Structure 1
Amino acid sequence: MSSRGLWADVRLRAAWARQDWAAILREYRRAAGLSQRDLEPLVGLPQPHISAIESGRRRITSAELMARITEGLQVPDELTGIPARPALDEWSPAAELRDRIAHGHRTGRVDLRTADWIGRVLAEHRRAEDEVGGRALWPVVRSQLDSVTQLLPAAAGPQPTG
């Protein structure tokens, strides 16, 4: 049975709804017919840790670990509340703007049109991260925003309209 098909299992879905990580691991293994060792590569945890979680001797509190397990067990988007991810092409800049960005990185200067575009893309990314709960990515987005802000004073050209 595919991982997606496993998530039709009522006991597994109930464990997910309770966010009972011990039960999620146990019920996933039961539905898939896996041992704790078989689960290791899926969730990136050694068997003794899986055993400790399932027995209640260890709790999962790390958002990073929750995300890793969620991804490893291929929890469907409708259960996670995360909207389907857009295709990467939707986030890619046009060839002309990629060239402008590369030029900006080489020279440390950009024109106002490029700087405006970069700012808008970063704002869109930040809104998307807000929607999917990407707090862990905020330092990266913040760094990108800081980079754009540093380029703006040296930007040349007419002010963008609209």
Structure 2
Amino acid sequence: MNKLKVLMTASASILLAGCTSDTTASHNAGYPEPPSWDFPYVTEAAYEISPHSLEGRPFNNDGLAYTHEELEALPVKDMAPEQLQNYADVVTHAFPDATYQSVPENCEDIPAESLNETSLANVAYISMQAVEKATRDSAKSCLVTLQKMYRKE
């Protein structure tokens, strides 16, 4: 598995940890969700809905619009959500509300060592683009918590 796939898998595992096709149906309140949360099916469904990032960059085979090196160079702990959302992965672009359903209620329960640039960007994207206001509000609060945790690493 190359570095980019590890990055995509690591960030997705934070946000998709509890999602399965059986558990997400009860959460759906009119927002899109994939037919399956299993890889590679979830990314294939996401590419169909959202082949490009907010900036118009195509997502690569790993579901990212930026290289690993570009992502590592980002000052994510200090970026505003409006900027940071541009670096979210394809699954989060396609299914923001559904993706957020797997985030723990208390974002402090997410281990700091499991965070990376893409996971923070995913939460930023959800905070700006989710269909449901409650999801956006929760993600905004979560992003503040995660950025503080990331600063302490």
TM-score (norm 1): 0.29
Choose between structure 1 and 2: higher helix proportion.
Answer: 1
Larger radius of gyration: 1
TM-score (norm 2): 0.31
